[in-house]
Amino acid sequence: MAENAGFISVPWGQHKLGAMYNTPFPSISRPKCIGVCSINASREFVDDASCASYLAGQPWPPLPFDLNGGIEDVIRKPVENGKRDLEIMLTYIKQHQKELLRQSSSDARNLRLDSDFVTLRGILRQIMCLQYDNRSFRVKATLLNGNVYMCKEETPEQQLENANMSRAQRVMCSWGFKFEQYLTSAQAQGKPVTNVPVNEAEEFMGVYRTNLAGILMLYGAELDCVDSKEPVDFKDCRVLDSLKFVELKTSVFNMNPHQIRTFKSFKSANWWSQSFLVGITTLYVGLRDTKGMLQRIDEIDVATLARNKPWSASAMAWYLEQFLRNLKKLLVNINDPFAVVQVTFLNKHASYEVLRGPEHQILPNWYRDLLKTRS
């Protein structure tokens, strides 16, 4: 029987920035997109591709262009807890239960997924980068019918950081959304529409499967746009798996030495892992000055991000694999479908606490009912 509190073993010391790391990359299948959905302006789940965007046909708007356009009228994404992101995935599973759910081999009265983990790409990315990051991070997980469901939870440090975010910081966050507006269109080969406020609440999400060293994962990932000259039938799974999605990023034009070090040690690792987890091979990076004027657009091959960097892509993948494997082992030992394990990464430790009670649940009752589980 597992303790109600303790530590999860993760390889914090396996690699230090700049050191050699010779362990080969763990086996991993190519991430496969099995479906898509949208989150509309009201933050409601929509089982279609209505929020999808296409990479706009070139030539793009002439440079430089102003990322501050319409900044006062931006429609910002409301503050939500991590359970809400997971619930979007659960709603997708409900809508596609015929394809995704099957009888549990251990109890025919219950249904389960062909996955060890159900989560979000952003959580996997952050876990991969944790060994190089001193900031705190927290997840909650529960085991139901053999599947681990995992969402994020804000730490006190993150809550304080978000509460104290300055207007200038919020504006810089909005620059990234405005850059997306300049480079995307609602139609294939369409032109960008940049004279309307950016709606940061809308999302287009892909649902992916992959196998990391025997750990099967099902996760959602927000996608910026698809690079296609023809309209896409997002309902066709064969088409989905062959699409070329691209990521759009903004960064600093003419970086100073500190910014260059930060990019090489941290930001490039985040960009690489985010793209790697969904099989994206191309980034378009808008380089902007301190006033939000975009000066240049670079096309970057994602594979080059991992070259000649102080971090190790292999170490990041092994860190994720070890954490997921040991987290599931802990949950299996706890053997309680209503127990929630809260894991806090802080000061090079991954401490856990077992939480019980309705106030701690991360799975809504309707989802438990869907899987025929009763308390």
Task: Return binding residues for Mg(2+).
Answer: 180, 222, 224, 247-248
Number of Cβ within 10 Å of residue 32's Cβ equals 16
Q: Which residues are annotated as a binding site?
A: 43, 120-122, 180, 222, 224, 247-249, 274
* Relative orientation angle of helices 313-334 and 268-276, to the nearest 10 degrees: 60
Q: In angstroms, rounded to a whole number, what is the distance separating the alpha carbons of residues 4 and 13?
A: 26
User: DSSP 3-state assignment of 41?
Assistant: coil
Query: Is there a contact between 119 and 149 (Cβ–Cβ < 8 Å)?
Result: yes
User: DSSP 3-state assignment of 371?
Assistant: coil
Q: What is the dihedral of CA 193, 196, 201, 203, to 10 degrees?
A: -10
Q: In what order do the strands lie in the sheet with 5-7?
A: 5-7, 349-355, 340-346, 137-144, 147-152, 117-120, 215-222, 203-212, 32-39, 45-46
Q: Which residues are annotated as a binding site for substrate?
A: 43, 120-122, 222, 249, 274
Q: In angstroms, rounded to a whole number, what is the distance separating the alpha carbons of residues 224 and 54?
A: 8
Burial of 372 (0-12, 13-18, 19+ CB in 10 A): middle
